[in-house]
Amino acid sequence: MKILTLGAAGFIGSHLTHRLLREGHTVVAVDLTSEKVAEYLDHPSLTFLQQDIRCPEWNLDSLVRDADLVIDLIAYANPGLYLRIPLEVFRLNFTENLKIAESCVRHGKRLIQFSTCEVYGRTAASLPHAHLADPEDPIHATFSEDTSEYILGPVSKHRWIYSSAKQLLERVLHAYGLEQGFNYTIIRPFNFIGPKIDFLPQAKEDIPRVFSFFMDALLNGTTMKLVNGGVNRRCYTYIDDAVECTYRIVENRNGACDRQIFNIGSPYNEVSIRQMAETMRQIYAEKFRDDATPLPQIVSVPGEEFYGEGYDDSDRRIPDIAKARRLLGWEPKWSFPETLEATMRYYVTESRKNRVPSAVGNG
Ligand code: UDP
């Protein structure tokens, strides 16, 4: 197939592009920069277009017209940004992505739209007046694509603008499906993790995802900060498992994915952020430690101090993957420790490659 991949050089996009090329597809890859796909730029089946999709004059329509399938991964998908630039988060994740969807509608092209598990918001167990017999029962935190209700915080907690923008986009795709027979598949990723997930924070203003903060603390012997004690939980999903599932959606055997929403995530890898910090510290000590660097301390910091005003959080989210199992025969395989170790190995190797050797005998 000829596949137009928008956001092809982000974390997920770069791994997916590799897989698409390996499977023999022709890929037209669009992104702001090509760093994460640098190793494939000479591939005869890849055309890379450096392009900001917000630029009013670009040839989206002709690229869509010439493609057999469109995959849209373009997003600001980092909580630090939801708090700092909420308007841009809305514009990119809704307004600009809608243009891509509408071009697919015009040209009758199938669209795979990456959305987010953030659409589910918080759990019922987290509500102040919830009186659940067993609030810890995972059933209260397990989200299903077609039946779960969404619980978001108030407008003053602007974290939820991302969730709302993505939710609205999903609803518009659904409406185009209903009214005009538009063929889409929506993917809701649950905390994908792996090599190239993020940059490591360099400046005070940098707010990548939690893995990168912890990795940076391990490499530099600084502090691992747990926002509000690190009690929130996530299900971390290794990128190879995620790409395998995504590829089955690309294949779309017997049209099984037509107008479907899929959770992609590993329900077996649920951990609190505190457990994540402790596991990373342990893996680092056992496998990667450079004797000169002290192991970081783990401390708790208030959310508003770490992120600023408007902070709120998703407390717990476990994917129900029954649909992916049933329609795609997919099952995640990577355990949490394996997932962390493989991701950490990439960053440790990269950081050691870039280390400036200390000056010796130049006195
Ligand atoms: N978090 C933390 N320490 C950090 C960065 C983030 O404890 O240095 C917490 C954050 O408050 C959230 C969780 O880690 O509860 C995951 O945040 P992340 O930014 O990775 O993305 P999310 O899973 O919320 O989309």
Which tens digit of pLDDT belongs to each residue from 20-34?
999 999 999 999 999
Does the pLDDT at position 16 exceed 70?
yes
Write the CA distances from 169 to 12, 92, 166, integer angstroms.
Answer: 20, 11, 5
Does the pLDDT at position 149 exceed 80?
yes
The pLDDT tens digits for 270-326 are: 999 999 999 999 999 999 998 778 899 999 999 999 998 889 999 999 999 999 999
Atom of ligand 1 nearest to the CA of 213: 8
Confidence of residue 362 (pLDDT cuts 50, 70, 90): very low
Burial group, residue 312, by CB count within 10 angstroms (0-12, 13-18, 19+): buried
Which of 76, 82, 162, 347 is flagged as catalytic? 162
Q: Are strands 233-235 and 192-193 parallel, antiparallel or unpaired?
A: unpaired
The pLDDT tens digits for 50-68 are: 999 999 889 999 999 999 9
Binding site membership of 209 for ligand 1 (Cβ less than 6 Å)? yes
Binding site membership of 79 for ligand 1 (Cβ less than 6 Å)? yes
CA 332–ligand 1 middle distance (angstroms): 22
What local confidence, expressed as pLDDT, does residue 359 receive? 39
Atom of ligand 1 nearest to the CA of 214: 8
Helix pair 336-354, 210-220: axis angle to 10 deg = 50
| pLDDT, mean of residues 158-166 | 96
Which residue, by CA, sits nearest to atom 14 of ligand 1?
210
Identify which of 163, 166, 273 to mutate to test ligand 1's pocket (most ligand atoms within 8 A of the CB).
273
* 75-349 homologous superfamily: NAD(P)-binding Rossmann-like Domain (3.40.50.720)
Q: How far apart are CA 31 and CA 6, in angstroms?
A: 6
Tokens in use for 190?
Answer: 């649950």
What local confidence, expressed as pLDDT, does residue 309 receive? 86
Atom of ligand 1 nearest to the CA of 227: 7
The pLDDT tens digits for 83-142 are: 899 999 999 999 999 999 999 999 999 999 999 999 999 999 999 888 899 999 999 999
For residue 21, report the phi and psi dihedrals to the nearest 5 degrees: -65, -40
Tokens in use for 206?
Answer: 């940098």
Residue 184: strand pairing partners: 111
Binding site membership of 226 for ligand 1 (Cβ less than 6 Å)? yes
The pLDDT tens digits for 91-102 are: 999 999 999 999
Identify which of 118, 123, 188, 209 to mutate to test ligand 1's pocket (most ligand atoms within 8 A of the CB).
209
What local confidence, expressed as pLDDT, does residue 346 receive? 97
How much is the pTM? 0.96
- Identify whether 268 is a catalytic site residue: no
Binding site membership of 210 for ligand 1 (Cβ less than 6 Å)? yes
Please give the helix or strand (H or E) that residue 142 lies within, else none.
strand 142-143
The pLDDT tens digits for 181-223 are: 999 999 999 999 999 999 888 887 888 999 999 999 999 999 9
CA 77–ligand 1 middle distance (angstroms): 12
Closest CA to 284 of 343, 239, 362: 343
CB 106 within 8 A of CB 182: no
Work out whether the CA dihedral 265, 271, 274, 278 comes out positive or negative: negative
What local confidence, expressed as pLDDT, does residue 291 receive? 74
CB 141 within 8 A of CB 317: yes
Binding site membership of 317 for ligand 1 (Cβ less than 6 Å)? no
**What's the one-letter identity of residue 164?**
S
